Amino acid sequence: MSHFSLAERPIDVAGLARELASGAAGASVSFEGWVRDHNDGRAVSRLDYQAYAPLAQAEGERILAEVRARFAIVDARCAHRVGALAIGDLAVWVGVSAAHRGAAFDACRFIIDEVKRRVPIWKNEHYAEGESGWLHPDNTPVE
């Protein structure tokens, strides 16, 4: 079963959350990253995400395997969109289930930080004034 996915269509949040359900889980934490209308003081009109799919899938799975080994969790999933996205679209979703909330929160943050740092997904921001620019998450500070 795949724990990391690249999605060309809207992410099925409810479906992914159901995959995390377990009698062993007392907590579930999720993160949603949406396309916003600004970045670095510039108005953004839309985004395009591109990925080197074979490497992105493999690295995403590696991160999810690491999180299951490193944290006391029941399960975890992550999905990241590729293609054209509009303002307000869901770009990335991470979900974690665990016996206790602390491990679920810690693991969820680890996943999103590592995906943004390590997975080869590039973002082309299209700005309101007509220009565009490619960004890769490893050039962006983790907040």
Predicted confidence (pLDDT) per residue in 48-107, tens digit: 999 999 999 999 999 999 999 999 999 999 999 999 999 999 999 999 999 999 999 999
Angle (nearest 5°) at CA 88 between 111 and 107: 15
CATH number (domain holding residue 72): 3.90.1170.40
Number of H helices, E strands in the chain: 3, 9
Sorting pLDDT into bands at 50, 70 and 90, what band is 135? confident
For residue 86, the enclosing domain spans 4-139
* Helices 53-70 and 101-118: angle between axes, nearest 10 degrees: 150
Predicted confidence (pLDDT) per residue in 30-48, tens digit: 999 999 999 999 999 999 9
Stated pTM of the model: 0.93
pLDDT at 142: 39
pLDDT at 140 over 80: no
The arithmetic mean of pLDDT across residues 23-30, rounded, is: 98
Sorting pLDDT into bands at 50, 70 and 90, what band is 137? low
Cα(98)–Cα(110) distance, integer angstroms: 14
Cα(71)–Cα(34) distance, integer angstroms: 26
Pair 45, 125: CB distance under 8 Å: no
Predicted confidence (pLDDT) per residue in 107-125, tens digit: 999 999 999 999 999 999 9
Q: How many domains does the chain have?
A: 1
Q: Please enumerate, as own/partner, the contacts of 101-104 that have beta carbons within 8 Å and a separation of 24 or more.
A: 101/26, 101/27, 101/29, 103/27, 103/71, 103/72, 103/73, 104/27, 104/28, 104/29, 104/73
pLDDT at 143 over 60: no
